[in-house]
Amino acid sequence: MSQFLGVAFQPYVGRWTGTPPNATTPYWNSYSQQDIVKMLEVIASRFSKISTYSMGCAGYYPPETPWDQVDSNCRVASAAAELNKLRGQVAIEVAQGIYQQSDTGLQHREIEGAFSAASAANTVFPNTVTSFVFTNEYVVDAQTANAVNAMIVTNKQNAHNLNLKVGVRSHTFGNIANPSSPFYNEMKTLIQKCDFIQCNLYPGSNTPTAQDGVNGVSEAFNMIKSAVVGVNPQCEVMIGETGWPSQGVSFNNTDNNVNNLLAYSEAIDKWASQQGVITYLFEAIDEPWKSDQNKQDPPWQGQNGAEGHYGLWYLDDSGGYTQKHV
């Protein structure tokens, strides 16, 4: 088991039923804590850390809805704590995601829910939740960088009081290595406030082999890391997402098959261990909803898209989880 490699995780692993254009996947709130414990047991056979994306808040829930009765992402930290208690050790540690909400009230509830979930989980088993990840791929300009910075500044001390770190996941951290970027200064201010950043880095377009993919990700990571050291030497630089799908059309137009998925995960694991970089593979278990059977565009998210096929496992016909293999 790698000390540095983890997996990105959401429990939305249900398969499609019905016929397009009226095919459906299970409701977002339909995965119980026990369902998620079962998933985490599978993940814990190979990994000891997960990074999540949200607290499950949504506008279709009344404001008074308890934090643990919204979409099923809200139950991940508690499920991890339950598993850890059963094992008598931290089998899975959680970087708790906080999703970007367009509504101010929803954003407040999302953040409050994350604090509640972390406190509840760490009461059941200490050190289950280690950090808060504020937003995912939301920082794309000066305005959004400032918005996330405000969240970090407002909540950092309260998080530290709970022995939790704060950081951000984004695909745009390369801007910190480019002083001419239109939001370089805002990115710099954000990184100065973070305990860590999670960089979403994938192989470039038409990358021919898994090792070429790792080489490209390594180059991008090192460029970002060097720039971050000059801004905030205490900010840990991680990879929040990286991966290679097992089938379908992907945004980077790679050759997508199980062989390449496995070769890439093995090569990035070796790189992460050699470099001492915490890295989260995208993703733990296939999420079929991301390959929308009811639409065509964009192609990587449509019927033949790769978005639903980045997992190392998939939900099989028996209701169990099968590891992908050749």
- The CB density around residue 83, as the number of other CB atoms within 10 Å, is 22
Supply the pLDDT for residue 1. Answer: 78
> Which of 137, 45, 129, 134 has its CA nearest to residue 94?
129
* Segment 283-302, tens digit of pLDDT: 999 999 999 999 999 999 99
Are 96 and 114 a contacting pair, CB within 8 Å?
yes
178 with 230: CB under 8 angstroms?
A: no
Inter-residue contact 51 to 240 (CB < 8 Å):
yes
Per-residue pLDDT of the chain (326 residues; tens, 9 = 90+): 789 999 999 999 999 999 999 999 999 999 999 999 999 999 999 999 999 999 999 999 999 999 999 999 999 999 999 999 999 999 999 999 999 999 999 999 999 999 999 999 999 999 999 999 999 999 999 999 999 999 999 999 999 999 999 999 999 999 999 999 999 999 999 999 999 999 999 999 999 999 999 999 999 999 999 999 999 999 999 999 999 999 999 999 999 999 999 999 999 999 999 999 999 999 999 999 999 999 999 999 999 999 999 999 999 999 999 999 98
Which residue's structure tokens are 């990571």?
Answer: 221
Convert the pLDDT of each residue in 67-102 to its tens digit: 999 999 999 999 999 999 999 999 999 999 999 999
130's tokens: 């280690």
Residue 306 CB coordination number (10 Å): 24
Q: What percent of the chain is predicted at pLDDT more than 70?
A: 100
Q: Which residues contact 133 (CB under 8 A, 6 or more apart)?
A: 51, 52, 53, 95, 96, 97, 98, 167, 168, 169, 198, 240
CATH number of the domain within which 141 lies: 3.20.20.80
Q: What's residue 143's pLDDT?
A: 98
Q: Specify the number of domains making up the chain.
A: 1
Residue 95's pLDDT is what? 99
Given a contact cutoff of 8 angstroms between Cβ atoms, the answer to whether 287 and 10 are in contact is: yes
Q: What is the per-residue pLDDT across 43-61, written as a single tens digit (0 to 9) for each? A: 999 999 999 999 999 999 9
* Domain membership of residue 138 as a residue range: 5-323
Altogether, the residues listed in the chain come to a count of 326
Backbone angles phi, psi at 249, to 5 degrees: -90, 125
